[in-house]
Structure 1
Amino acid sequence: MAEITQAGIDALKVQLDEVEGYLRLDEQRQVVAQLEATSTAPGFWDDAEAASGVMAELTQAKDEVSRVDAARQRIGDIQAAFDLGQETGEEELLDEADGLAAALGRELSELELASWFSDELDHGDAIVTITPGQGGLEAQDWCGMLFHMYLAYCERRGWKVTVNDAPVAEAIGIDRATFTVSGKNAYGMLRGEQGVHRLVRISPTDAKKRRQTTFAGVEVLPVLPEDVKVDIDPNDLRIDVYHASGHGGQGVNTTDSAVRITHLPTNTVVTCQNERSQLQNKAFAMNILRSRLYELELAKREAELDELRGPKHEIGFGNQIRSYVLYPYQLVKDLRSGVETGNVDSVLSDGDLDKFVVGYHRWLVGGGER
């Protein structure tokens, strides 16, 4: 039975008005007109690189305008179907209005979320690293669970994932995981996942079946555009190669394809072993190193360690941003935004994280501290 009400439709209208305000849609329409005029000017393509940048900006601006215009049209369709359904008593029309309203609600949440991404890096790709914390073998298993949760989430959102490093632990789980996520607003969406994640469950490795609390840390960095310069002196690097393990197939494990790069002045270490080619692994590792050194430089210049990833905390008790409880009850709760769900499987197995991602950014916009 349809659950749609006039109050629900009115709430969508209010939300759309707010989204238009967030996106400054009148200004966006002017931007579109100016960029279209620029793109048709004589000699526009003489500088292909500059022209490509203008066209990318135009595409993004037109996309936001068209999405809002389409949402306004869909609200009209929802209202019409609801009014006719109420008038005729046809349940099919009310069901149609209900489905359209649910889909529009999700779309408006996406638009609202995108409007909060003011930094250029928010719109780009992300490098995610998961590290086991307190808990020994349990933490390695938890690290593997989080890794698969994020892979599922990226698949849901249609993002491309490149696994840079995910060595399988000797007994259970993985030692760590580093992967690059490519897609629209990937860094902006994922940066709220940075922090300590806590798992409570019956230990699968404990013969006495006792409850175990386990931790893992998640780091999220932006993939830097090529025009962002990070000076790295080759003399400051120690590069080690070794046999890869885990992802990559048999060929990876028979050659010294894995690469570990240590930046000696900062003692920053990055590894990559997913590709068969040592050169490819070195290139991926250098990209990760650039992002980490960029973050360190920002913190040094601005004296704000949480400029991009928030304060560092020990991966253990008292520092978690989210708890995943499997026993004695089932609950996933974000300790910053208060968003929670009892459907643990949908989160851990299916990667249903949008409610937590959106909830974090709403909390942040509302005055929460990063």
Structure 2
Amino acid sequence: MRRLRNRSLAVLATLGALALTGCGSETYTPGGTAESSASGRTVTAREFMRLTSVHEETGMTLLEGPVFGADGQLNVVDVTAPAGGPKVLRVDVRKKTVRKLFTDSRGAYTSAQFSPYDGRLYLTDISHGEIVSLAPDGSDRRAFFTGEVDGARMQPDDIAFDPDGHLYVSDALGMSEGQARGRVVRVDRDGAHATVLADGLAATNGISFDVDYRGLWISELTENRISYLPVEQRPGMAGRHTAVRVDGGVAQTDSIAVDADGNLYQALHGRPAMAVYSRYGERLATVEVPARTEGLESATNVAITPGGTKAYMTVSGPAGGYLYSFDALAKGIRQSNGG
């Protein structure tokens, strides 16, 4: 299996072994000016800090799910952290310090987001088909949802919350078999009932509401496309449709975020970069690390400071797990903070 061919396959294979289970030529730098070109621009992200090194036990480190808490600190998950290692890290971005917030003996957590209903931090465990929640300080782990949905156990990857606190989950079901069986699942905020909203997706990965909470942007890893799924049905509105086809080359579509102007930030697994699109599918920019940076292979997600434009991108590879920062195209909102 080629190195990091597929994020979840690599995670599952590693944990199983442990018995755990181009856009254009314009250049832009934060705080600087951009050189115009007809083909767009490149936003250069700058190294902010290293959070992790490759774990000897798993042979990997893979950061995901950056989300700001009410205290202004950034929470990040490490998907491949071994048992007892820091599986959720808390970063003080003002002091540039990091500490362990949470660990356990088995979880492979691929996303994190705070609920607007109960204020708890929710994590998806892709290896065990479970969604768990923590108190904001990392204590009081609770199993929120597990079990089958319409006869199949989920492989939950990312989360989006609606304003009432109901969860919308990207279910990567079928990924390990190479089958388009992925789903979008809605779970009531009390965890008592789950409904499949869409199926037949190709390794469902990123998920985020649009600005008005009328629909969901969904990235499909093995098809390199972003689909749009209306959740607020209106007269004349069609169902799910392909919204953007991402020209990623060897890279694949990972998590997705949305800023206050409705722009989409599509992370790329297999390249330390993000593609930025307008809500109408226009390629606006590519965010990438500086040229000749070595040992970084994937950018998985981004958190834009709520109410501000400073963005923090999770980037990982043999060199370790890093945060890179850049100026987003618009301000951060809930849809650009976690998932």
Give TM-score, length-normalised by structure 2.
Answer: 0.21
Q: Larger helix proportion, structure 1 or 2?
A: 1
Q: Larger strand proportion, structure 1 or 2?
A: 2
Larger radius of gyration: 1
Give TM-score, length-normalised by structure 1.
Answer: 0.20
